[in-house]
Chains A and B, each alone.
Chain A
């Protein structure tokens, strides 16, 4: 037994003292393998970063394309086509009636989105005449006969384009009537029995779609208004995704903090219904986190304040309600503000048309977003790449709609059709350049994608999203 122990002990002692020289080429081989591993890792991160940036760009481009100058509303979507036979049902001497009257085919036509300023494309049978009235000549137009000639009015500018095809002919008119104008259009296409009346939307010189049906004093009916497409399509947005500023600190023993301030975002809008002069978006975020090895975890909250203000320029008659989706749009996405009359208490106006009495309107939304994030830190020399994702929920704390009437009184209410909370997914990437301690700089990109729509309807096409990119400066203790 003792021999066994002696042998075991002998060899154990020998192993402790056994230090052969490692082959000289061993380190070179290991070093080469390490470099290969690093290259493979970096390649993977590049792929992830490229996929993220590409998908972010695509998402942004997709949403922005709905607001761009040149890519506004497809014309076909906003056109209304009516067989000309309907027009023939009306007498040749019919006049254009007010919206109170629905007795003939002309009225039906007028309930469709009609252009009175530009690009009114009309295809009709020979000899058919149509008068477009404005409110001031409304009564007189009731008695006015349709004449077989183009009306010439020294206050009216016309531009007519005629295009013909085998089955259809169009007349495009560009007119800028004043309120006293009587616009009469006519065409003579006797050989076109299947002609149709086609009305296109106007795109003005700025590339903004203007639906003239909703122009001030235009003739409209509830039905027409409710059919109006998104007002966001007539909004011109500038500086949608501004650079946000980030500040950060790292305490060096596992804790970090950050804040960011997004500069005021301005949205200029032009619309025949709402002339929202400007929109401000103000966002502030504070977060605190911890990091351990290659992981970071953080939580924080942000406050987002949206303000829209401007003129609400509504049609003068027959307005019962504005029932359009996407009344507003902002860097936080789309907000549906419909059935406004339910939330705004008119001072002494009836529900029928009180909205038109407001000269100035203002919408303001305050929200608080709580977020939780988990990220992975990848270090490459002095560069630290952090990528991760999180979840957040946004609570709408308050929303106020106020309007000032012609007497200077102000009414206010709130938009009842907004969701009180949104749930969001938030992928993010950061790139920081650190030295051992001291100031560091970086770049931060955040994407917040809402999982539900901003309004209470079941239409999930309008999920808000935000995308912020901004420089970052911080201090590492």
Chain B
């Protein structure tokens, strides 16, 4: 396989082989990102499809060496766009424990990466989104508020509740 640099040059020239190689390298990682921000596997696959098409169409804009970071950011932005389209409501009032449907029952005793991410995936969408942006992507509350068009206090509240849920689930499994 060619070097990543050659593959990027090929992608910029719209070469099919380069696009296939780029997909091979990053598809698994990007699929993981898609899973964080999707409610189910079908949505994640759609996001993976749309994300790579967007990347191939806009790869001319890639001007630095951090290919993975740029791609990840692209996927997150697309996920956020989808999220905004769905107009998910962010509750600002006192949080109520959600039903057991959000809980993952088959967590393994031994926590691996997959299991932990499954815990996150089981969060209600608005909590999952804020938690992912804050804890994993490193956004500040201000940035989250601007991105999701909510208030900073709503962002903080949703993050806090996400943490509580995760903590409880971790305790439950232990």
* Residues in chain A within 8 A of chain B (CB atoms): 3-4, 7-8, 10-23, 26-27, 29-31, 33-34, 37-38, 293, 379
Contact = CB atoms under 8 A, between A and B. Distances in A.
Contact of A19 (B16, B20, B29, B111): B29
A38 B53 CA distance: 12
Interface string B19-53: 11001000111111001100001000100110011
A8 B135 contact: yes
Contacts of B28: 19-22
Q: Which of A14, A18, A20, A34 has the most CB of B within 10 A?
A: A18
B73 interface: no
Most buried by A among B14, B134, B170: B14
Given A30-B23, A31-B20, A379-B14, A11 B116 contact: yes
A14 B135 contact: no
A7 B28 CA distance: 24
A22 B27 contact: yes
Contacts of A33: 49, 53
B52 A30 contact: yes
Nearest to B46: A29
Contact of B56 (A11, A12, A17, A34): A34
A21 to B, nearest CB: 6
Of A19, A20, A27, A37, most B-chain CB atoms within 10 Å: A20
A96 to B, nearest CB: 79
The 5 A-B pairs of least Cβ separation, nearest first, read: A14-B116, A17-B113, A22-B27, A8-B135, A22-B31
B140 to A, nearest CB: 13
A22 B51 CA distance: 13
Interface size for chain B: under 10, 10 to 19, 20 to 34, or 35 or more residues? 35 or more
Contacts, number: 89
A12 B135 contact: yes
29 contacts: A7-B167, A11-B116, A11-B117, A11-B119, A11-B135, A11-B136, A12-B135, A14-B112, A14-B113, A15-B113, A19-B28, A19-B32, A20-B31, A20-B114, A22-B30, A23-B45, A23-B48, A26-B23, A26-B48, A26-B49, A27-B20, A29-B49, A30-B23, A31-B20, A33-B53, A38-B14, A293-B12, A379-B13, A379-B14
A18 B35 CA distance: 10
Given A30-B23, A34-B19, A34-B56, A14 B117 contact: yes
B35 A26 contact: no
B60 interface: yes
Contacts of B136: 11-12, 15
Nearest to B12: A293
Contacts of A23: 31, 41, 45, 48
Secondary structure at chain A's binding surface: helix, strand, loop or mixed? Answer: helix
A26 B45 contact: yes
B144 interface: no
B36 A26 contact: no
Given A3-B167, A20-B28, A22-B27, A10 B19 contact: no
Contacts of B117: 11, 14-15, 18
A22 B48 contact: yes
B78 interface: no
Contacts of B52: 30
Nearest to B24: A27
Interface in B96-152: 111-114, 116-117, 119-120, 131, 134-136
Contacts of B119: 11
B85 to A, nearest CB: 20
Nearest to A19: B28
Nearest to A293: B60
B80 interface: no
A11 B116 CA distance: 7
B93 to A, nearest CB: 22
Contacts of B48: 22-23, 26
A34 B113 CA distance: 33
Contacts of B60: 293
A10 B111 CA distance: 10
B163 interface: yes
Contacts of B56: 34
Contacts of B7: none
A16 B116 CA distance: 11
A10 B23 contact: no
A38 B131 CA distance: 39
B32 A15 contact: yes
Interface string B70-89: 00000000000000000000
B67 interface: no
